[in-house]
Structure 1
Amino acid sequence: MDLDLAFSAAEALPPELLQAGGVWLDPLQAEAIWQGLLACWLGQLSAELPAELQSQAYSAGLSLLDDAEIAALNADWRGKAGPTDVLAFAAQDEGLDDAPPMPLSSGLEGDDPEDAGEPLELGDIVISVETAARQAGEHGHDLPRELLFLASHGLLHLLGWDHPDEDSLAAMLARQEALLAAVPAGRAIPD
């Protein structure tokens, strides 16, 4: 599965968070590792995607921010004060005609990406590393696992998953756990 990933990480994260995040936050390794993982997950999910999301190539963004940066996005886009753990800005959502432009929009609106030879733009996943670190402690696991959990959640949202009720949430969480099971212990990305 081909994935064009626009990756960014907050430059001002405290050293202890960078250390706790390991290679997932390492400025020299993180982009390639995240790209490999998200492409792997897209490959695993491809058979269950609706026709309009079927593609051989995708484009997406992943931003790892601090609480202040995600709080600003949370206020602007959701009208909610304070930081949150993950936001997903799905480019393929219906009813977005009147929404502001996507942060990393491909400009292919209305074009068939398969015909144009361009990747299908999925949108952007934004994660607060600081919130993820707090939640990791609350859930009794490490920061990398929490980052992976939030990234899988954001990716599923980009692909149309939602959780308006308990049954939908349970199904989404089960799918996330299946994606996480594909990540070998330690950090290695499946080939």
Structure 2
Amino acid sequence: MSVLIDCAEGVSPLLTEEEVRSICAHVLAAEGVDRPVEVSLNWVDDEEMHSLNAEWRGIDKVTDVLSFECDAPTIEDLPAGEPVELGDIILAPVQIARQAPGFGNDPADECRLMLVHGLLHLLGYDHIEDEEAEVMEAREDELLRELAVQRGADPAAVAVGPTTRHEHD
């Protein structure tokens, strides 16, 4: 697995590169992805996220995370050892920190949720329909509790609200 991380000038990431890679590795393993993959993660400011959200989703305001899917890990056209480019995850740490208290999280926990959320999108999860949202939220909750145990935190303290339905958009 390769995670390419870029941070816009003046932007302070909410997670270390080591933790980002660890979260990605855990989610991919838990989802049964056993071939080499590449993920791109970009930390951006509110202005850039606002612009991307308006361009790609038609929503003229800042959001927390965007995912741009490329190839599925199940693609059969590539040789077995060749990496699959899963896609791009864009995170807006200022927006994530701003919204965290409303969801009962601190900024780092909210960011972990947004990263897991973005990865699940790259792996084909969606939340347009209520049934899909329930499946995605349950998977986010499960993964975040596993990650909490890994870092020695209390898994019962994990808070996953109704974020996948984008009720705040």
TM-score clears 0.5? yes
Instruction: After TM superposition, list the pairs within 5 Å mapping 1:6-155 onto structure 2.
Output: 6-13=4-11, 21=14, 24=15, 30-46=16-32, 54-92=33-71, 111-114=77-80, 117-155=81-119
Give every structure 1 segment of 4 or more consecutive aligned residues whose post-TM-superposition deviation is greater than 6 Å.
none
Distance change >3 Å, CA 57–CA 139, structure 1 → 2: same
CA-based RMSD of the aligned residues comes to 2.4
Percent identity between the two aligned chains: 35
Deviation at 1:5, TM superposition (A): 0.6
Deviation at 1:66, TM superposition (A): 1.6
**Equivalent residues, number:** 151
* Residues 23, 116 of structure 2: 8 Å contact kept: no
* Residues 84, 131 of structure 1: 8 Å contact kept: yes
Residue 124 of structure 2: SS of its match in structure 1?
coil
Q: Look up the equivalent residue of 2:10 and give its one-letter code.
A: A
* Residues 55, 119 of structure 1: 8 Å contact kept: no
* Residues 113, 120 of structure 1: 8 Å contact kept: no
TM-score w.r.t. structure 2 length? 0.79
Deviation at 1:9, TM superposition (A): 2.3
Q: Look up the equivalent residue of 1:112 and give its one-letter code.
A: L
Residue 42 of structure 2: SS of its match in structure 1?
strand
Q: Hey, what's the Cα distance between the residues in 1 that align with 2:136 and 2:6?
A: 26
Deviation at 1:10, TM superposition (A): 3.1
1:27 alignment partner in structure 2: none
Distance change >3 Å, CA 36–CA 113, structure 1 → 2: farther
Deviation at 1:113, TM superposition (A): 4.2
Distance change >3 Å, CA 178–CA 113, structure 1 → 2: farther
Instruction: Considering Cα pairs closer than 8 Å and 6+ residues apart, tell me whether 1 or 2 has the greater RCO.
Output: 1
